[in-house]
Structure 1
Amino acid sequence: MDERTYTADAAPGDTVTVAGWVHELRDLGGIAFLIVRDTSGKIQVKLEKDEMDDELVETGLDVARESVVKIVGDVKEEPRAPTGVEIVPTDIEVIAEAETQLPLDPSGKVDAELPTRLDNRTLDVRRDESKAIFEIRSEVLRAVREEFRSFGSTEITTPKIVATGTEGGTELFPITYFGEEAFMNQSPQLFKQLMVGSGLERVFEIGPIFRAEEHNTPRHLNEATSIDFESAFFDHTEAMDVCEAVTKAAYEAVAENCTDELETLGIDDFEVPEEAFPRLTYEEAIERINATGELDEQLVWGDDLPTEGEHALGQDVGEHYFITDWPSEIKPFYIKDHDDDETLSTGFDMMHPRMELVSGGQREHRFDRLVEGFRKQGLNPDEFEYYTKMFKYGMPPHAGWAIGGERLIMTMLGLDNIREAVLFPRDRQRLSP
């Protein structure tokens, strides 16, 4: 259909061929209107029953909603039409007829529950609101890639089938790989560290990660999109600087390039973070959580932050913020400790008031300390020999982080469920479509 015109480009005086879906039919007696929708918007097609060919009118009146059609006709100015123009057709072709009974209403006039929408995601993304979310998601990923490149980063892709888990534990998906046990990768962490020890030095990756997550909540997935960054000759503070810049760049791009989508979602107060994100130490964080009085029991040093504690602190801070200087014992083996206090790690989290978005830190680049870290966490360093041996050959100091792509979109748009931000979610109940 090389001659096709998008509905948004149809101008008075043009003779056009548009193709799309029948969004709605309005039959007013002597006149009827087809609303045809394509990726750029909607346009009105006028059917004057007494003045047009009977077969043409009949085709237009009989076509079911969501059928795919091709319309040829002249564009006229019509102030009363939704977009100010309409097409007077000379030909209507039904390319693909839709069934009259649809599992959900793409026009949005009849609400559908989230499970029904996810079961019929193709139809669901024909809804303006769902489409807007994924247009915004696409813009976020574009902006993130551009910001990474502005820092001189190289985009990489790393294996998703691995011999050992990145972090061990029970959150591993085992698979059979030509008769041997393998796992779906929990994170590109170890591979991106190996790459900063190569000639690339500064890398990023946007790709899937897999976790056999037991939680079945509105903010957990078993397959998620991880946005990862790693840089040689960086410490944890410099990694936080990049993290903040990338987050702000995503918001700025959406504010600048997705105004229609934000309007569709009813977001008229979209705020781009402008100030530097506060940086609280772990000790300050638990003190502020305890001071809110929201927890039944006071947190003590070494506790992980419970969800209700994160919420309380988020409400108290009221913006994106970092938590730094976590206890070494509760951060992964590859996180470097502070040189002047080995009880404190260089690990950090970046938080939205609703939830954690980022985990990062400076990495341990010294072979002996790295192997010791494995043993302290009950892991066998021999199983990670492909990774650890490269630290014998000149591994620079390095730092990085990972942000959950869906959580970024969820918090940015105020979505109630993380599944709204992924096309085909994978959770404990959903393996299809």
Structure 2
Amino acid sequence: MSFPRKTHWTKDVKPELDGKEVVLSGWVWDIRDIGNIKFVLLRDREGMVQLTIKKGSVPDSVWSAVASLNKEDAIVVRGIVKASKIAKAGVEVFPSEVYVVAKSKPLPIDIWGTVETDLDTRLRFRSVDLKRPINSLIFRVESEVTRAIRETLYSHGFIEVFTPKIIVTSTEGGAELFAVQYFERVAYLAQSPQLYKEELTASLERIFEIAPAYRAEKHNTNYHLNEFISVDIEEAFANYTDVMEVLEDVIVNVYGKVAEAFNDEFSKYGIEVKVPKKPFRKITYDEALGILERRGLKVNWGEDVPKGGMEILSEEFGEPFFIIHFPTDIRAFYTKPLESDPRISESFDLVIDGLEIASGSSRIHIKEQLIDALRKRGLNPESFESHLVIYDYGLPPHAGWGLGLYRLMMVLLRRDNIREVVLYPRDRFRLEP
């Protein structure tokens, strides 16, 4: 079938186009039939617009095509824009041509909001569920978020890289790895690009990557996944305070761009994005434990701050904040200890609305110190030989962080479950669709 190509998104059809011809394409969201007039609500990725079809004012082929329509049929329409005081958006389109390019059966789930469908069922029919306007909005926002992240990092002199996701050994020393058969040997899916990005500071200095990461952890929470998108940076000739400033700029720019582009649309869903102010509050691990104890939650020194503790701290501060100076023993082996007190590390977590969004640190850049750190954690330095070799050839002091894109989306859009901001989630129990 041949048909004209889209000239406008529905959001671009405004009263200022009165009298102009447009070509629209999308899906039938709703149909109202009042006899000799039919109203069709056309949905595309960007929104909706009303089509008005009057019998006798259109060719018979257009009238019969519209009469055959069902919800979610895919159509292409050529028509004239008319400003309207009656139509909800202040504008409607009068079609002169209608092409029905794909028919739809009745949907297996409700996308119109008349029947509540549980998340598991929605995810089972995810491609259909993604037709819901809120989902179109979520993933348009996610695209804008990644654009804002890239813009910020490029402005700081970072370049984008792509590191292997099939690796020979653990990136972070843990056991939570997915094994894959790699020809005659066993390999693993990467937990993060950590070792590669550290090595790249010896040549490319400032790098970032936005890519999948994999963790074989048997979680089943609203904020864990086994495949996720990680935003990682590493900067040469820098320490943890330098990269914390970069992270602040990333967050502020993301929130600013999203608020500017989407706050009007968000109002339909009770969402408002407020841009946080720099600098973010910084509290030490010891200070965090003291606040939590006063609030009735005892965390022993040397234990990580639990999710409930982060929620309490977020209630206390109300804004994004950093926890800094975690005990060295609970951070990854490559984390640099404070020179003044090696029990404590040059490390940080960024917490927003009770959720750890990003984690980072200064890294150990002296080979002997890194070997010692590996051995203290019961790891064999020989397993990291291909990584350790770069330490002999001028590896500079460096620092970096990793940020969970989906967790950022979750707090940005105030979603209760991380799976809502993932196209096709992969968790402990979900491997399809």
**1:197 Cα deviation from its structure 2 partner:** 1.2
SS in structure 2 opposite 1:64? coil
Counterpart code for 1:274: K
Deviation larger for 157-166 or 76-85: 76-85
Structure 2 residue corresponding to 1:117, chosen from 118, 122, 125:
122
Structure 1 residue corresponding to 2:276, chosen from 273, 276, 282:
273
The 5-angstrom pairing of residues 146-185 of structure 1 reads 146-185=151-190
**1:56 Cα deviation from its structure 2 partner:** 2.7
**1:391 Cα deviation from its structure 2 partner:** 0.5
SS in structure 2 opposite 1:95? strand
Given the alignment of the two structures, is residue 263 of structure 1 paired with residue 267 of structure 2, yes or no?
yes
The 5-angstrom pairing of residues 178-327 of structure 1 reads 178-198=183-203, 200-268=204-272, 270-293=273-296, 295=297, 298-327=298-327
SS in structure 2 opposite 1:341? coil
Counterpart code for 1:417: N
Identity rate, percent? 42
In the alignment, what sits opposite 1:406? 406
Q: For residues 358 and 3 of structure 1, what CA distance do their matches in structure 2 show?
A: 40
**1:430 Cα deviation from its structure 2 partner:** 1.0
Given the alignment of the two structures, is residue 97 of structure 1 paired with residue 100 of structure 2, yes or no?
no
SS in structure 2 opposite 1:344? coil
The 5-angstrom pairing of residues 347-386 of structure 1 reads 347-386=347-386
Residues 410 and 417, structure 1, Cα contact 8 Å, conserved in 2: yes
Structure 1 residue corresponding to 2:137, chosen from 125, 132, 135:
132
In structure 2, relative to structure 1, the CA distance for the partners of 1:233 and 1:52 (3 Å cut) is closer
Counterpart code for 1:205: E
Number of aligned residue pairs: 427
Residues 132 and 265, structure 1, Cα contact 8 Å, conserved in 2: no
Counterpart code for 2:167: V
SS in structure 1 opposite 2:344? strand
In the alignment, what sits opposite 1:333? 333
In the alignment, what sits opposite 1:390? 390
Residues 43 and 82, structure 1, Cα contact 8 Å, conserved in 2: no
Alignment deviations for residues 243-267 of structure 1 (CA, whole Å, 9 cap, x no partner): 1111111111111122344224321
Deviation larger for 43-52 or 322-331: 43-52
Residues 279 and 322, structure 1, Cα contact 8 Å, conserved in 2: yes
Q: For residues 56 and 257 of structure 1, what CA distance do their matches in structure 2 show?
A: 36
Give TM-score, length-normalised by structure 1. Answer: 0.95
Residues 128 and 264, structure 1, Cα contact 8 Å, conserved in 2: no
Given the alignment of the two structures, is residue 432 of structure 1 paired with residue 426 of structure 2, yes or no?
no
Residues 6 and 25, structure 2, Cα contact 8 Å, conserved in 1: no
In the alignment, what sits opposite 1:16? 22
**1:13 Cα deviation from its structure 2 partner:** 0.8
Counterpart code for 2:27: W
Residues 281 and 326, structure 1, Cα contact 8 Å, conserved in 2: yes
Alignment deviations for residues 62-106 of structure 1 (CA, whole Å, 9 cap, x no partner): 21111111222222222211222222222222100111x102233
Q: For residues 205 and 60 of structure 2, what CA distance do their matches in structure 1 show?
A: 69
Q: For residues 263 and 40 of structure 1, what CA distance do their matches in structure 2 show?
A: 15
Residues 133 and 261, structure 1, Cα contact 8 Å, conserved in 2: no
Residues 235 and 398, structure 1, Cα contact 8 Å, conserved in 2: yes
Residues 132 and 264, structure 1, Cα contact 8 Å, conserved in 2: no
Q: For residues 300 and 43 of structure 2, what CA distance do their matches in structure 1 show?
A: 57
Give TM-score, length-normalised by structure 2. Answer: 0.95
Q: For residues 40 and 169 of structure 1, what CA distance do their matches in structure 2 show?
A: 43
In the alignment, what sits opposite 1:145? 150
In structure 2, relative to structure 1, the CA distance for the partners of 1:322 and 1:337 (3 Å cut) is same
In structure 2, relative to structure 1, the CA distance for the partners of 1:328 and 1:7 (3 Å cut) is closer
SS in structure 2 opposite 1:171? coil
Q: For residues 61 and 240 of structure 1, what CA distance do their matches in structure 2 show?
A: 59
**1:114 Cα deviation from its structure 2 partner:** 1.3
SS in structure 2 opposite 1:137? helix
In structure 2, relative to structure 1, the CA distance for the partners of 1:389 and 1:74 (3 Å cut) is same
Alignment deviations for residues 387-430 of structure 1 (CA, whole Å, 9 cap, x no partner): 11111111110011111111111111111001111111100111
Unaligned runs of 5+ in 1: none
Residues 317 and 353, structure 1, Cα contact 8 Å, conserved in 2: no
Q: For residues 184 and 113 of structure 2, what CA distance do their matches in structure 1 show?
A: 49
In the alignment, what sits opposite 1:36? 42
**1:379 Cα deviation from its structure 2 partner:** 1.0
**1:196 Cα deviation from its structure 2 partner:** 0.4
